[in-house]
Structure 1
Amino acid sequence: MRELNLFSAGDLRWVDKPDPTLRTPRDAIVRPFVVSRCDGDTLPIHRKVSRAMQAGLRAGLIDPAVGHICGPLPFAGPFAIGHECVAEVVEVGDAVESVRPGDHVVVPWSVSCGHCGPCRRGLTSKCETTRAAAGGERTLSAYGFGPASGEFGGMASDLVRVPHADAMLVPLPTGLDPLRVAAASDNLSDAWRTVAPALRDRPDASVLVVGGGARSIGLYAAGLAVALGSPRVEYVDVDPTRLAIAESLGVAVRERPRRPRGGFGAYDVVVEASSSSPGLRAAVRSTAPGGVCTAVGYYVGTATGVPLMHMYATDITLRLGVSHPRAVLPELLDWIAATGFPAERVTTELADFDDAPTAYAARTTKLVLHRAPLG
């Protein structure tokens, strides 16, 4: 089978690999037919970061967690890439009960067992079972991050093995267009967790999204906030294309400085999607008293400079951490199926699956690969 590998910045190739096989009766084999590029994948695809990050780790300028997730030479190729997909089940083990061949499913980016303590609490990306590794415990157990996060391969592949299939795979609701939820494995579910719980608790909450590096997550979050009924949703960014997409989703938009120095007002719910230290500080300073700011970007430096005294004086909550898609996917997919939320508007390039090596390197907000399912 073919597996898309990142060799170095801008160099992606199909690599021939043996077809995956069922290793336990709880496994499934799936065939991805919609694959979406995560916002975070653009970092190693578009920039030569491996050696610089290695030097930063050694100098203490980059947080050690980067090495734990991506290896001591972060993003060193070749490695299998891709961790967002909608797939067709092609084979299941004897113990699998919830899916069968022919079913269309979303595969979460992180691998989880569904039974350990963290999984039962909804912290599926911190599954104790799948993170257990020889000689210790992985920081993450995931598709598409390289061997430091497990030998699971990437989702931009002809076939993918899914362990703990009953716990992992989430069937697509009948009639829901797979292209609409192409990013449900990660970016779309990540956006959901930034606004849906807060607006459930406070339906009248105002929402600000600081857009940027987490390109699609910020757009999904802004659109979801409008669809969930927030009376005031604003999106700030430096990119005209993303500002136009946000506006098409019913969001009020304005251009922001590239390095904001202060806040943008006062909002009950703030989503920090610039993935930058200045953006994070501006997002915190834009959070109203008693509000919540959720950061979804990568903040790899050890000197981010979070304004803790301002947070103390204003009484706000800052949340950040990996997303736990398996915990929210059933609710998210059912809601999109019921409301018709047009998440596909965030997609800026739709490419043929066979063209993955070229398409995956595109400098665009949201790339989606597709091919026809078998059935």
Structure 2
Amino acid sequence: MILGGLASSIGLYSASLAVGMGSSEVLYLDNDSERLKIAESLGAKAVSYSVLPKAWERKFPLIADCHGLKEGMDFALKSLSTEGIYGSASIFWTNKLEIPYLDLYNTGATLKIGRVDSREYIPHILKKISEKKIKPEKIVTKICSFEEATEAWLEPAIKLVVKMD
């Protein structure tokens, strides 16, 4: 499961990678219609919500949390299956976020918080991109020149690409 949100492009890249690498099921949850359309175009099952439930109706062995708020983390952790892996691309600037330690201990959860070190997988990912199984170009919602970058950065975009011509 991928929980989309404030780390918007990361959630969509996660969906593209999961689909492209052959995951049997990729559920993408979000409350943003543009991101949901992109996730669906990537091959994920895109599901909208207005309010996150306490937990999803079933548990998942792998969850990518890109929500960005504590409610998203709480939802994702409660939706994690026994011995599941939870990864978060969210940054909580206060450094005072409570983690439900006992619940995670009883679940046997593995937490991965922080930047992903994907260096060893890059050749495999590039091969999948060349085979059109992973489609990062679908996530780019705005392209601008270097000269336009200052203004473009201030406008909303899921993924902005600045071209150096």
Same fold (TM over 0.5): yes
Aligned residues of 1:296 and 1:321 also touching (Cα < 8 A): yes
Structure 2 partner of 1:205: none
2:32 counterpart of 1:239: yes
Identity of aligned residues (%): 29
Equivalent in 16, 33, 52 of residue 223 of structure 1 = 16
Q: Does the 8 Å CA contact 1:273/1:296 hold for their aligned counterparts? A: yes
Listed as ranges, the matches of 1:114-263 within 5 Å are: 208-258=1-51, 260=52, 262-263=54-55
C-alpha offsets along residues 312-353 of structure 1, whole Å, 9 cap, x if unaligned? 222221111223354443332233224452210011111222
Structure 1 unaligned segments of length 5 or more: list them. 1-207
Per the TM alignment, residue 287 of structure 1 is displaced from its structure 2 partner at its CA by 0.9
Matched, 1:335 2:119: no
Instruction: Say whether the 8 Å CA contact 2:5–2:66 is kept in structure 1.
Output: yes
Residue of 154, 157, 160 corresponding to 1:361? 154
- Runs of 4+ that moved beyond 6 A: none
1:279 pairs with 2:72: yes
How many angstroms apart in 1 are the aligned matches of 2:124 and 2:21? Answer: 13
Q: What is the number of residues matched between the two proteins? A: 164
Distance 1:269 1:248, change over 3 A: same
The one-letter code sitting in structure 2 at the alignment partner of 1:231 is S
Structure 2 counterpart of 1:291: 84
**1:283 maps to amino acid:** A
Provide the C-alpha distance between the structure 2 equivalents of 1:249 and 1:360, rounded to a whole number of angstroms: 25
Give the C-alpha shift of residue 251 in structure 1.
0.9
Give the aligned partner of residue 309 of structure 1. 102
Distance change in 2, residues 1:365/1:285 (3 Å): same
Partner of 1:125: none
Q: Specify every segment of 5 or more residues in structure 2 that has no aligned partner in the other structure, as ranges.
A: none
Provide the rounded CA distance (Å) in 2 between the counterparts of 1:363 and 1:325. Answer: 27
Give the TM-score of the pair, scaled to structure 2: 0.90
Retained in 1: the 8 A contact 2:20–2:133?
Answer: no
SS in 1 for 2:106: helix
Q: Pick the aligned partner of 1:266 from 59, 63, 86.
A: 59
Query: SS in structure 1 opposite 2:68?
Result: coil
Confirm or deny: 8 A CA contact 2:87 2:113 kept in the other structure. Answer: yes
Q: 307, 323, 329: which is aligned to 2:116?
A: 323
